[in-house]
């Protein structure tokens, strides 16, 4: 079926099978492989994207559901000229990235959290990122990266 | 620690590959696009043991998109995985099924969906037999033999001194039995490979893997071609922790066989369930521990019997048996030690390498016993550890002596100091129990008894003033590419942005052995250090000619060659590199680092095994909710002697990550079997720690200078798993007054025990 949606600011018109997962649409159909598949069951959060600004596991979402909506994937965060998004910078600087497989999802969950809650408490960070599993870091540096992202974003707004 | 004037080594730097990872641009194996790509999906046994009577693929071949179903007979080579003797594991089970989840054929199709449908349409007749599911069943006299040589995979002994006498003369003898459960690696990226055939008869395998040269050999053997016909390219790898050796071999070989047969690229990507049931997990264990001591706390003897449940195939059991054997007595000076370490076959998912490699299991037993002994002696548990801790120049369990870099006492002293100033909270005592636990451990660095340890690395200075490092050890998230870049930058006086560390592919880097045993920084780092040192000689020689002075008047620093006595007199290194090239001095060097070979008596495991040990002491304070059994970790301190730390931030990351894996082992994670079938093969029923389970780890390094590593380095990848798991167990015992003898100690276990 034909669907129309916005992906990373760009209007997409595409014919998709009704049972296609959004994860496969973005990875295979649109070639955006920054979104990862870790479990296909909505358990690990590696495939997190933003749908109308809210984090969703793209492995659980069927492509027709995107009709008329707007999605953001990790590829949208880097700014023109190669400047990293403040959240990306923070993850890098704080050592919140090890193997990096959970990172795109982790960064998008962070963005969704900070978009609605610019200075979250530790408990709120835990809640916001509880759907994203990381096996490498032990999460301590991820929490620091979220806090540092919040400061960077506040600074950027001033 | 010897004073060293260093500009890159010892500085926290960001990961050299971090930018690609945070932008999502890093290409993992599943991210590559190939024209006409085929996909493979395996048929796996649903029962734990049986004889394959018939496999009918006719219906599968009728499914649209299915192009083939590969059976054992289609494998041109030896149909074997096993890294080690006894080489008992087929890629595809031929006549006998030995665990639930074992694959016996694989459908190849134009889409994943079709491949799955094809696999489902394969009709298989398997005559079930009663599976052997426990160590006791496997060791029973009348037990069916899982493999022709019986159910014992391997058994090794360590004998030092006279244990019989020590126990006869002891003031106190304690003994107990401990058990640990299997643990799943649960790296976020499952195992993925893609094989691409070429017209020249070669095949390239892009793989999420840990040891590309190992895999190359096995793929070639299964294709029945020389290794030179195969190129393995390590893609960005989403975690491994020991787990991406055997499984990557299995699917790498199958993809290569199908790719060569059909002349098209073939991808095999494990689903999460396959990654859990069809690839290695940590050995479950049962450890009987006896300890003999004098009244003053001097431990005079240890007698230990280790049984490791290795599942259906040997895989890395022979090495895990050795590692457990060698480490079971702990980081102490004990004159009389007798250990027997045995791996057993059962009809369950096969076990292999997992961060810690047998050490977490034995450390749990050892450190639980240390606390029990302290209790018996009414001694402070840290004092007991300190009293028995190894000092430089003393014989460890294998009678190996290290004159330097034995920092166990420093780690204990640091924890004593921290513990003194820490007050456990006592809020709401009617609701909560509080306790603190300690654990000391050590872990050998290098392959040691597990094989010859050689790394080949090359460094090339380029004419733009940068350096290219190539080495066969893999980046798995741990930050080794960054460490190698730091070492090359240090030697050549470059800033970090001027160093590139190549991705590993077996055509363009030297074989460096497997990326295991916390050896990358030490043995790998030494090879990079040596190669860079040779290149430096050319640059100094050239710069001396350019300055018309002696070489020893020149330093390489901040991308310049400069005069020692006049910092303003400097030539950009890129100009020196250009001149070096035109003068004909070599700008590239390949160097080798070979660890001294393990040299020991194989009957008693006495002699020199490893080139260094990492030592550590952990402290963990917890609060237990008496109503629910829920545990909150209030404080966790991980003190390690890992030699000189190259990248402190990455070091912390290793400690934090490994510690949470240790907590998972000790508290949360449990592979559950029913009739030999794993019933929780997913990430909701198998509890990998989430952000809410994280622990407040404080990482402290007490640096000693290790003479076998460049700049005095050792390694840190694995050791904290043991420290965190064992200190957790001791904290629970301290809080509840109950000694739990089995890991994991779950919330339910605690609740049940305190209700009694």
Check if B250 contacts A (Cβ < 8 Å).
no
Select from A59, A75, A91 the last residue of a domain. A75
Distance from CA of A73 to the nearest CA of B (A): 9
Residue B656 and residue A43: Cβ atoms within 8 Å? no
Q: What is the mean pLDDT of chain B?
A: 97
Question: Do A91 and A69 sit in the same domain of this protein?
Answer: no
Question: What is the count of structural domains for chain A?
Answer: 2
Tokens of residue A142, six digits:
């991820």
The predicted pLDDT at position A158 comes to 46
Spatial CB neighbours of B92, under 8 Å, sequence gap ≥ 6: B70, B71, B72, B75, B79, B103, B104, B105, B106, B254
Flag whether the pTM goes above 0.80.
yes
Q: Which CATH number fits domain B32-129+191-269: 1.10.150.20, 3.40.50.12780, 3.90.1170.50, 3.40.50.300?
A: 3.90.1170.50
Question: Do A124 and A55 sit in the same domain of this protein?
Answer: no
Ranges in chain B annotated CATH 3.30.365.10: 18-25+454-594, 287-398+410-446+611-755
For range B524-552, the mean pLDDT: 98
Spatial CB neighbours of A108, under 8 Å, sequence gap ≥ 6: A48, A49, A50, A55, A72, A73, A74
Select from A36, A52, A75 the last residue of a domain. A75
Residue A33 and residue B27: Cβ atoms within 8 Å? yes
Helices (H), chain A: 22-24, 86-93, 103-116, 122-128, 140-157
The predicted pLDDT at position A124 comes to 98
For range B410-431, the mean pLDDT: 97
Percent of chain B with pLDDT over 90: 96
Mind listing the pLDDT tens digit for each residue in B714-735?
999 999 999 999 999 999 999 9
The residue among B732, B736, B669, B727 whose CA lies nearest residue B698 is B727
Question: Do A16 and A84 sit in the same domain of this protein?
Answer: no
Mind listing the pLDDT tens digit for each residue in B608-635?
999 999 999 999 999 999 999 999 999 9
| pLDDT at position B313 over 90 | yes
The residue among B158, B65, B47 whose CA lies nearest residue B108 is B65
CB B631 within 8 A of CB B667: yes
The CATH number that applies at residue A46 is 3.10.20.30
| pLDDT at position B84 over 80 | no
Question: Do A56 and A87 sit in the same domain of this protein?
Answer: no
For range B379-387, the mean pLDDT: 98
Mind listing the pLDDT tens digit for each residue in B344-372?
999 999 999 999 999 999 999 999 999 99
Check if B35 contacts A (Cβ < 8 Å).
no
For range A125-142, the mean pLDDT: 98
Residue A37 and residue B656: Cβ atoms within 8 Å? no
Question: Do A105 and A149 sit in the same domain of this protein?
Answer: yes
On chain A, the residues whose CB falls within 8 A of the CB of B721 are none
Q: What element of type H or E holds B461?
A: strand B454-461
Select from A57, A75, A93 the last residue of a domain. A75
Question: Do A86 and A153 sit in the same domain of this protein?
Answer: yes
For range A115-140, the mean pLDDT: 98
Question: Do A107 and A50 sit in the same domain of this protein?
Answer: no
Percent of chain B with pLDDT over 70: 100
Report the distance separating Cα B317 and Cα B323, nearest Å. Answer: 10
The predicted pLDDT at position B83 comes to 66
Angle CA B38–B39–B44, to nearest 5: 150
Quote the domain boundaries for residue A24: 2-75
Q: Which residue matches tokens 């509840």?
A: B736
Confidence band, pLDDT 50/70/90 cuts, at residue A157: low
Confidence band, pLDDT 50/70/90 cuts, at residue B450: confident
Chain A residue with minimal CA distance to B656?
A: A138
On chain B, the residues whose CB falls within 8 A of the CB of A146 are none
Residue B22 and residue A91: Cβ atoms within 8 Å? yes
- Kindly tell me the burial class for residue B72, based on how many C-beta atoms sit within 10 Å of its own C-beta (0-12, 13-18, 19 or more): middle
Question: Do A111 and A141 sit in the same domain of this protein?
Answer: yes
Question: Do A8 and A60 sit in the same domain of this protein?
Answer: yes
Question: Do A25 and A58 sit in the same domain of this protein?
Answer: yes
Q: What is the edge-to-edge ordering of all strands in the sheet holding B742-743?
A: B152-160, B336-344, B299-309, B284-293, B172-180, B742-743
Residue B688 and residue A143: Cβ atoms within 8 Å? no
Question: Do A71 and A84 sit in the same domain of this protein?
Answer: no
Q: Which CATH number fits domain B287-398+410-446+611-755: 3.40.50.2300, 3.30.365.10, 3.40.50.1110, 3.40.190.10?
A: 3.30.365.10
Ranges in chain B annotated CATH 3.90.1170.50: 32-129+191-269
Residue A77 and residue B23: Cβ atoms within 8 Å? yes
Instruction: State in words which class domain B18-25+454-594 has.
Output: alpha beta
Confidence band, pLDDT 50/70/90 cuts, at residue B333: very high
Mind listing the pLDDT tens digit for each residue in B408-420?
999 999 999 999 9
In DSSP terms, B338 is beta-bridged to: B159, B303
On chain A, the residues whose CB falls within 8 A of the CB of B632 are none
Residue B189 and residue A99: Cβ atoms within 8 Å? yes
Report the distance separating Cα B255 and Cα B244, nearest Å. Answer: 16
Distance from CA of B227 to the nearest CA of A (A): 29
Question: Do A90 and A65 sit in the same domain of this protein?
Answer: no
Confidence band, pLDDT 50/70/90 cuts, at residue B449: confident
| pLDDT at position B559 over 70 | yes
């Amino acid at each position: 079926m034909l669907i129309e949606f916005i992906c990373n600011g760009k209007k997409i018109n595409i014919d998709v099978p009704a049972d296609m997962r959004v994860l496969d649409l973005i990875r295979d159909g649109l070639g955006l492989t920054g979104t990862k598949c870790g479990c296909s069951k909505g358990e690990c959060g590696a495939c997190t994207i933003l749908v109308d600004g809210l984090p969703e596991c793209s492995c659980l979402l069927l492509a027709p559901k995107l009709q008329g909506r707007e999605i953001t994937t990790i590829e949208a965060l880097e700014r023109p000229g190669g400047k990293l998004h403040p959240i990306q910078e923070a993850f890098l600087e704080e050592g919140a990235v090890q193997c990096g497989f959970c990172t795109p999802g982790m960064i998008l969950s962070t963005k969704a959290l900070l978009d609605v809650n610019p200075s979250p408490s530790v408990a709120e960070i835990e809640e916001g990122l509880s759907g994203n599993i990381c096996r490498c870091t032990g999460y301590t540096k991820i929490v620091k990266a979220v806090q540092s992202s919040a400061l960077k974003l506040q600074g950027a707004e001033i | 620690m010897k004073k060293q004037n260093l500009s890159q080594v010892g500085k926290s730097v960001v990961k050299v590959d971090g930018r690609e990872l945070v932008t999502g641009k890093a290409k993992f194996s599943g991210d590559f696009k190939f024209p006409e790509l085929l996909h493979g999906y395996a048929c796996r046994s649903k029962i734990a043991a049986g004889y394959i009577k018939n496999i009918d693929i006719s219906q599968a071949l009728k499914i649209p998109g299915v192009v083939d179903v590969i059976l054992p007979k289609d494998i041109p080579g030896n149909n074997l995985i096993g890294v080690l003797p006894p080489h008992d594991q087929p890629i595809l089970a031929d006549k006998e099924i030995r665990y639930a989840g074992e694959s016996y054929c694989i459908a190849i199709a134009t889409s994943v969906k079709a491949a799955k449908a094809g696999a489902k349409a394969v009709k298989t007749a398997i005559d079930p037999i009663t599976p052997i599911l426990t160590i006791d069943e496997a060791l029973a006299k009348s037990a069916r033999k899982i493999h022709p040589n019986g159910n014992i995979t391997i058994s090794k002994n360590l004998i030092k001194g006279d244990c019989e006498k020590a126990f006869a003369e002891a003031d106190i003898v304690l003994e107990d039995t401990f058990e640990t459960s299997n643990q799943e690696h649960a790296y976020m990226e499952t195992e993925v490979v893609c094989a691409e055939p070429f017209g020249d008869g070669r095949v390239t395998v892009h793989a999420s893997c840990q040891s590309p040269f190992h895999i190359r050999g096995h793929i070639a053997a299964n294709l029945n071609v020389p290794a030179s016909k195969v190129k393995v390219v390590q893609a960005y790898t989403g975690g491994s922790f020991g787990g991406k050796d055997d499984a990557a071999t299995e699917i790498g070989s199958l993809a290569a066989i199908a790719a060569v047969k059909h002349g098209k690229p073939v991808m095999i990507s494990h689903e999460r369930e396959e990654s859990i049931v069809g690839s290695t997990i940590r050995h479950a264990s049962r450890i009987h521990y006896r300890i003999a001591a004098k009244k003053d706390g001097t431990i005079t003897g240890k007698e230990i019997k280790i049984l490791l449940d290795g599942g259906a195939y040997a895989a890395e059991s022979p090495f895990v048996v050795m590692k457990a054997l060698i480490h079971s007595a702990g980081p102490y000076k004990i004159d009389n030690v007798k250990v027997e370490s045995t791996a057993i076959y059962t009809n369950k998912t096969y076990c292999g390498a997992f961060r810690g490699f047998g050490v977490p299991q034995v450390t749990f037993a050892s450190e639980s016993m240390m606390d029990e002994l302290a209790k018996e002696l009414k001694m402070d548990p840290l004092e007991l550890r300190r009293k028995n801790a190894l000092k430089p120049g003393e014989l460890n369990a294998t009678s190996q002596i290290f004159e330097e870099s034995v920092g166990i006492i420093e780690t204990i002293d640091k924890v004593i100091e921290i513990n003194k100033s820490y007050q456990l909270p006592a809020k709401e005592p009617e609701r909560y129990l509080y306790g603190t636990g300690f654990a000391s451990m050590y872990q050998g660095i290098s392959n040691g008894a597990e094989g010859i340890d050689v790394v080949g690395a090359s460094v090339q200075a380029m004419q733009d003033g940068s350096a290219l490092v190539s080495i066969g050890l893999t980046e798995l998230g741990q930050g080794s590419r960054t460490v190698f870049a730091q070492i090359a930058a240090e030697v050549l006086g470059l800033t970090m942005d001027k160093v590139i560390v190549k991705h590993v592919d077996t055509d363009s880097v030297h074989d460096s052995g497997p990326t295991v045993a916390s050896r990358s920084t030490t043995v790998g780092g030494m090879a990079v250090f040596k190669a860079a040192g040779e290149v430096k000689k050319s640059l100094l020689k050239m710069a001396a000619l350019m300055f018309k002075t002696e070489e020893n008047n020149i330093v390489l620093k901040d991308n310049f060659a400069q005069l020692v006595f006049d910092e303003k007199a400097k030539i950009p290194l890129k100009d020196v590199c250009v001149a070096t090239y035109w003068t004909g001095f070599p700008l590239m060097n390949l160097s080798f680092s070979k660890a001294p070979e393990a040299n020991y008596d194989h009957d008693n495991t006495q002699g020199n095994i490893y080139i260094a040990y990492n030592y550590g002491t952990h402290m963990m304070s917890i609060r237990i909710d008496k109503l629910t059994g829920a545990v909150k970790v209030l404080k966790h301190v991980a003190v390690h002697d890992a030699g000189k730390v190259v990248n402190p931030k990455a070091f912390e990351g290793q400690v934090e990550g490994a510690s949470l894996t240790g907590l998972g082992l000790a508290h949360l994670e449990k592979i559950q079997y029913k009739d030999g079938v794993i019933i929780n093969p997913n990430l909701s029923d198998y509890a990998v720690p989430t952000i809410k389970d994280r622990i407040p780890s404080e990482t402290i390094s007490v640096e000693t200078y290790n003479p076998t590593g460049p700049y005095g380095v050792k390694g840190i990848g694995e050791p904290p798993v043991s420290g965190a798991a064992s200190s957790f167990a001791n904290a629970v015992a301290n809080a509840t007054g109950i000694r739990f003898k089995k890991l994991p100690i779950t919330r339910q276990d605690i609740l049940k025990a305190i209700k009694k």
